[in-house]
């Protein structure tokens, strides 16, 4: 479903290469975990896929069902079904969270030639999703992420995911900074969401999220390269031994 | 995508930049006593008004063009302007059916139908074309309620005493350079009179259209609201895209008697000049002031300023009556090479008077946006209160925003509150929208509208949606 081919990338403003040719195939219904030390390029990979400003792909392609995402605008990628739960969701003061959700939902509906929903219809659609995440409807009245706690921001990301029902989701350290209850809510929501038609990429440092959402594959990225892939047992091994044993031989 | 994304700013092509071809009666360029006399004669004015004009003109001659504001523009050549431009065909104001079809079409195209049904069914419109009013709708219906809504020249014929009593009573010709100029050469404007105990049954609106190249527009609006009465008035404006800059110097005077309530809203969309250099835009130098004379009276200014090359404007309230209230809600958007120096003055004189200033300045492109405000609380204004909030939003990194809040409190029982914030629209915010499927332009529109919400919320509902759309148009191509 998602096919990352020899992807190289750098920052807009610097020549320093951050991704050095990543190859990764993610099939329908699969869950992939991506792990690796801080600063190894995990977020950069997700931002290149989402089309974030400041990052520039220099080689390779990212195919979603055969279409190269890198040729599309960021909003087209989203409407084609790519969803990124940001590691650090940005605050947007003055923009109502509920309206934002509906705007996003309707943008996709329109793109797909489906009916757009009015505020009442949309409220009905939200109700069950809020419940699933144990979120109070008062969240919708606030500005997008504005003054939200770290945990609230992450729940809000997952709420957006449920509303937009994307094909490919990338969760960039969605588990970082979550307490136990929030972690469970988020994990349950992701499990509820995923099915044989979805692909899920989980970027994480910890086994605890992977205890809830079982990955089919685990990859390790270091210094912009994918250095190891394995089964879910690799994550357990990493939890125990850290990354050094993998990274050291590269240095040697 | 790069840093350029937000900075790549080009105005959407100005929608109202076309010109109407119609036979015009235009005075020769230049300003002198003969021109002042000519205007007065064309308008068949009484002697006192000609004296009013000449006094103002002679005073104006003694003044220097002010230079204290932040705006930069080449010196205006006042001899290079036509001070009178009117359609040749005599306009009879008795029936809307008699309005020249060409002018009807012009206003139709501007979205201001000069007919008494259609879209703006609950809004009476005075349509002003260069130096004259071409039509005023719903006059009869309003008169049934005792409400007078007509061009100033018509008011001079029918209500000379009222005009004489109030004209220049709020903004005297000695007030400032442009007020003096306006008093000398004003040609048209609207007159509104709301009698006692009357809530005006409709929104009143004047639409100003500049059409003649090289002509200045100097209108003068006067609104008088008697005891326990209420009116909401809206002004809109556009001009063709010419190569040379044009001068617009208006004066607006509001008079609120006991418990009177005047709401004055402006949606200003004068031609801003070319996006590349700013050439040809309107110079908008306006003096707007209201006097809350009566106890418990209220004057509220709401403005959405999106056009003009240069805007220089400080709608103000003089709070004389005890417990009177002054409000100023403003959105000023500048893009490309536009410059705005705008704000408000609240002069507290009566006891327990209250004022609120909410200013939202948005700068994009290479524009400069300045808030300048004065809150003056006199010794007599015991228990007065003011709250001021002036926020700036920067889009891109080549624009600028400045705020100059002056506060002058002369008694100890008054309270003054001031809040200010500057926010920058980040690419990260835009990308957040995009990642959820919302294109960059809609994203920016949504962020800007959120920023302006406090002001849009107080616009008359008929115009809030339009203001919203106008902002979005103005910011088109600001990102992308
Ligand atoms: N916007 C940026 N400005 C400067 N350096 C950046 C930026 N984004 C990423 N980097 C650098 O690129 C490398 C990879 O960062 P990132 O993708 O965030 O790593 P990870 O998510 O794996 O912790 C790091 O060295 C980081 O400092
Ligand atoms: Mg990261």
Instruction: Convert the pLDDT of each residue in B180-190 to its tens digit.
Output: 999 999 988 88
Look up residue B277 and give its two tokens: 């250099």
Contact of B421 with chain A, judged by CB distance below 8 Å, is answered with no
CA of B216 to the centre of ligand 2 (A): 59
Question: Would strands B345-348 and B316-319 be described as parallel, antiparallel, or unpaired?
Answer: parallel
8 A C-beta contact, residue B288 and residue B252: yes
Flag whether pLDDT at B480 surpasses 50: no
Closest CA to A177 of A210, A150, A157, A212: A150
Q: How close, in Å, is residue B437 to chain A by CA atoms? A: 4
Tell me the Cα Rg of chain B. Answer: 22
CA-closest residue to ligand 1 atom 13: A39
Flag whether pLDDT at B178 surpasses 70: yes
| First vs last C-alpha separation in chain B | 8
**Confidence label for B121 from pLDDT (cuts 50, 70 and 90):** low
Given this model, what pLDDT does residue B161 score? 94
B contacts of A77 (beta carbons < 8 Å)? 435
Given this model, what pLDDT does residue A248 score? 61
Facing B447 at nearest CB: one of A73, A92, A104: A92
Beta partners for residue B59, in sequence order: none
Mean per-residue pLDDT of chain A: 92
Compute how many other C-beta atoms are within 10 angstroms of the C-beta atom of residue B79.
Answer: 9
Flag whether pLDDT at B434 surpasses 60: yes
Facing B451 at nearest CB: one of A94, A100, A144: A94
Given this model, what pLDDT does residue B407 score? 94
Given this model, what pLDDT does residue B339 score? 82
Closest CA to B227 of B292, B136, B300, B171: B292
B contacts of A90 (beta carbons < 8 Å)? 426, 428-429, 432
Distance CA B93, CA B90 (A): 9
**Sole residue written with tokens 């090289």:** B214
User: Which residue is closest to A165 within chain B, CA to CA?
Assistant: B436
Compute how many other C-beta atoms are within 10 angstroms of the C-beta atom of residue A52.
Answer: 21
Q: How close, in Å, is residue B296 to chain A by CA atoms? A: 33
Contact of A167 with chain B, judged by CB distance below 8 Å, is answered with no
Q: Which of A57-66, A175-184, B69-78, B385-394 has the lowest mean pLDDT?
A: B69-78
Distance CA A218, CA A34 (A): 6
Neighbour order of strands in the sheet with B230-238: B132-136, B123-129, B203-209, B230-238, B261-268, B298-305, B325-334, B354-363, B385-394, B415-424
**Confidence label for B1 from pLDDT (cuts 50, 70 and 90):** very low
Look up residue A179 and give its two tokens: 């307490």
8 A C-beta contact, residue B476 and residue B12: yes
8 A C-beta contact, residue B326 and residue B342: no
CA of A225 to the centre of ligand 1 (A): 14
State which H helix or E strand residue B384 sits in.
none
Instruction: Convert the pLDDT of each residue in A166-204 to its tens digit.
Output: 999 999 999 988 989 999 999 999 999 999 999 999 999
**Confidence label for A249 from pLDDT (cuts 50, 70 and 90):** low
Flag whether pLDDT at B96 surpasses 80: no
Beta partners for residue A199, in sequence order: A168
HSE-CB of B234 using CA atoms within 13 angstroms: 23
CA A210 to chain CA centroid, nearest Å: 15
Q: State the ipTM, two decimals.
A: 0.95
Give how far Cα B287 sits from Cα of A80, A247, B375, Å.
53, 71, 17
Flag whether pLDDT at B7 surpasses 60: no
**What are the residues whose beta carbon lies below 5 Å from ligand 2 (ion)?**
A 42-43, 87
Contact of A53 with chain B, judged by CB distance below 8 Å, is answered with yes
Instruction: Convert the pLDDT of each residue in B100-118 to its tens digit.
Output: 777 777 777 766 666 665 5
State which H helix or E strand residue B280 sits in.
none
Among A10, A13, A20, A39, say which to mutate for ligand 1: greatest number of ligand atoms within 8 Å of CB.
A39
| Helix intervals (H) in B121-175 | 139-144, 152-158, 160-166
Residue B177 burial by Cβ neighbours in a 10 Å radius (0-12, 13-18, 19+): middle
- Classify B256 as helix, strand or coil: strand
Asked if B2 and A78 come within 8 Å (Cβ–Cβ), the reply is: no
Closest CA to B471 of B460, B458, B455, B461: B455
Q: Which atom of ligand 1 is nearest to the CA of A203?
A: 21
Q: Which of A227-236, B110-119, B178-187, B239-248 has the lowest mean pLDDT?
A: B110-119
DSSP B318-363: EE-STT-EEEEEEEEEE-TT-EEEE--EEEE-STT-EEEEEEEEEE
Choose between A56 and B83: higher pLDDT: A56
Asked if A103 and B439 come within 8 Å (Cβ–Cβ), the reply is: no
Closest CA to B162 of B83, B51, B294, B257: B257
Q: Which of A138-147, B55-64, B239-248 has the lowest mean pLDDT?
A: B239-248
Q: What is the mean pLDDT of residues B276-305?
A: 90
**Confidence label for B8 from pLDDT (cuts 50, 70 and 90):** very low
Residues in chain A: 252
Given this model, what pLDDT does residue B307 score? 80
DSSP annotation of B139 reads H
Flag whether pLDDT at B14 surpasses 80: no
Contact of A92 with chain B, judged by CB distance below 8 Å, is answered with yes
DSSP B140-154: HHHHHTT-EEEEHHH
Closest CA to B250 of B315, B300, B301, B192: B315
Q: What is the mean pLDDT of residues B394-403?
A: 86
DSSP annotation of B97 reads G
What residues are in contact with ligand 1 under a 6 Å CB criterion?
A 11, 18, 36, 38-44, 54
Name B241's Cβ contacts closer than 8 Å, sequence gap at least 6. Answer: B14, B17, B18, B271, B274, B280
Choose between B125 and A71: higher pLDDT: A71
Give how far Cα B255 sits from Cα of A74, A207, A238, B139, B450, Å.
54, 72, 78, 21, 33
Q: How close, in Å, is residue A116 to chain B by CA atoms? A: 14
Given this model, what pLDDT does residue B94 score? 60
8 A C-beta contact, residue A175 and residue A158: no
In chain B, what percentage of residues exceed pLDDT 90? 43
Q: How close, in Å, is residue A168 to chain B by CA atoms? A: 13
Instruction: Convert the pLDDT of each residue in A19-28 to its tens digit.
Output: 999 999 999 9
Contact of A166 with chain B, judged by CB distance below 8 Å, is answered with no
Interface of A with B in 11-50 (CB under 8 A): 12-13, 50
Q: What is the mean pLDDT of residues A65-76?
A: 95
Name B4's Cβ contacts closer than 8 Å, sequence gap at least 6. Answer: none
Given this model, what pLDDT does residue B59 score? 95
Distance CA B253, CA B255 (A): 7
Name A215's Cβ contacts closer than 8 Å, sequence gap at least 6. Answer: A31, A32, A33, A202, A232, A235
Given this model, what pLDDT does residue B309 score? 81
Give how far Cα B355 sits from Cα of B288, B329, B344, B451, Å.
16, 11, 11, 21
User: Which residue is closest to B453 within chain A, CA to CA?
Assistant: A94
Compute how many other C-beta atoms are within 10 angstroms of the C-beta atom of residue A236.
Answer: 14
Beta partners for residue B173, in sequence order: none
Global pTM value:
0.84
């Amino acid at each position: 479903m998602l096919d990352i081919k020899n992807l190289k990338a750098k920052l807009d403003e610097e020549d320093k290469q951050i991704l050095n040719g990543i190859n990764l195939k993610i099939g329908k219904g699969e869950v992939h975990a991506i792990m690796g030390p801080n600063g190894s390029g995990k977020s950069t990979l997700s931002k290149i896929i989402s089309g974030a400003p400041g990052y520039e792909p220099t080689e390779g392609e990212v195919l979603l069902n055969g279409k190269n995402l890198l040729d599309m605008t960021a909003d087209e990628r989203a409407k084609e079904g790519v969803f990124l739960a940001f590691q650090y969701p940005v605050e947007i003061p003055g923009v109502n969270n509920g309206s934002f959700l509906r705007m996003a939902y309707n943008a996709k509906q329109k793109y797909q030639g489906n009916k757009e929903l009015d505020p009442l219809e949309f409220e009905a659609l939200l109700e069950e999703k809020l419940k699933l995440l144990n979120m109070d409807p008062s969240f919708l009245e606030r500005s997008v992420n504005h003054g939200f706690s770290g945990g609230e921001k992450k729940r809000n990301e997952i709420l957006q995911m449920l509303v937009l029902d994307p094909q490919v989701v990338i969760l960039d350290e969605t588990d970082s900074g979550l307490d136990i209850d929030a972690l469970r809510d988020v994990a349950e929501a992701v499990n509820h969401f995923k099915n044989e038609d979805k692909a899920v990429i989980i970027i994480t440092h910890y086994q605890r999220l992977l205890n809830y959402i079982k990955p089919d594959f685990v990859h390790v990225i270091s210094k912009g390269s994918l250095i190891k892939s394995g089964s879910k047992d690799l994550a357990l091994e990493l939890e125990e031994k850290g990354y050094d044993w993998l990274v050291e031989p590269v240095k040697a | 995508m790069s840093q350029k994304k937000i900075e790549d700013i080009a105005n959407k092509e100005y929608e109202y930049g076309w010109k109407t071809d119609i036979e015009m009666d235009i005075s020769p360029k230049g300003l002198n006593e003969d021109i002042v006399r000519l205007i007065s004669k064309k308008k068949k004015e009484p002697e006192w008004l000609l004296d009013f004009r000449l006094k103002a003109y002679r005073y104006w001659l003694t003044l220097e063009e002010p230079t204290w504001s932040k705006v930069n523009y080449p010196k205006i050549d006042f001899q290079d302007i036509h001070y009178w431009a009117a359609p040749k065909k005599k306009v009879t104001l008795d029936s809307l059916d008699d309005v020249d079809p060409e002018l009807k079409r012009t206003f139709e195209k501007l979205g201001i139908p000069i007919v008494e049904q259609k879209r703006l069914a609950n809004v009476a419109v005075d349509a002003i074309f260069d130096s004259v009013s071409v039509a005023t709708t719903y006059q009869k219906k309003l008169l049934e309620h005792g409400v007078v809504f007509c061009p100033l020249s018509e008011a001079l014929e029918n209500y000379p005493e009222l005009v004489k009593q109030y004209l220049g009573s709020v903004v005297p010709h000695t007030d400032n350079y442009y007020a003096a100029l306006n008093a000398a050469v004003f040609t048209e404007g609207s007159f509104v009179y709301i009698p006692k105990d009357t809530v005006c049954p409709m929104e009143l609106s004047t639409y100003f259209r500049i059409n003649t190249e090289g002509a200045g527009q100097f209108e003068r609006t006067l609104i008088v609201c008697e005891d326990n009465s209420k009116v909401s008035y809206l002004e809109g404006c556009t001009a063709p895209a010419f190569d040379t800059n044009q001068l617009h110097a208006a004066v607006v005077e509001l008079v609120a008697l006991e418990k009177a309530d005047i709401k004055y809203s402006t949606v200003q969309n004068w031609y801003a000049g070319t996006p590349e250099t700013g050439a040809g835009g309107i110079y908008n130098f306006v003096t707007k002031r209201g006097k809350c004379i009566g106890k418990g009276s209220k004057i509220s200014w709401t403005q959405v300023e999106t056009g003009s090359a240069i805007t220089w404007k400080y709608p103000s309230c003089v709070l004389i009556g005890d417990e009177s209230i002054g409000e100023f809600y403003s959105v000023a958007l500048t893009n490309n090479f536009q410059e705005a120096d705008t704000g408000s003055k609240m002069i507290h004189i009566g006891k327990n008077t209250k004022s609120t200033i909410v200013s939202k300045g948005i700068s994009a492109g290479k524009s400069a946006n300045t808030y300048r405000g004065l809150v003056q609380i006199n010794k007599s204004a015991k228990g007065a209160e003011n709250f001021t909030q002036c926020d700036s939003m920067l889009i891109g990194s080549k624009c600028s925003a400045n705020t100059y809040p002056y506060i002058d409190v002369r008694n100890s029982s008054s309270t003054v509150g001031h809040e200010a914030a500057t926010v920058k629209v980040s690419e990260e915010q835009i990308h957040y929208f995009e990642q959820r499927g919302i294109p960059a332009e809609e994203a920016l529109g949504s962020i800007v509208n959120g920023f302006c919400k406090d002001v849009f919320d107080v616009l008359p509902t008929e115009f809030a949606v339009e203001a919203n759309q106008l902002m979005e148009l103005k910011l088109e191509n600001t990102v992308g």
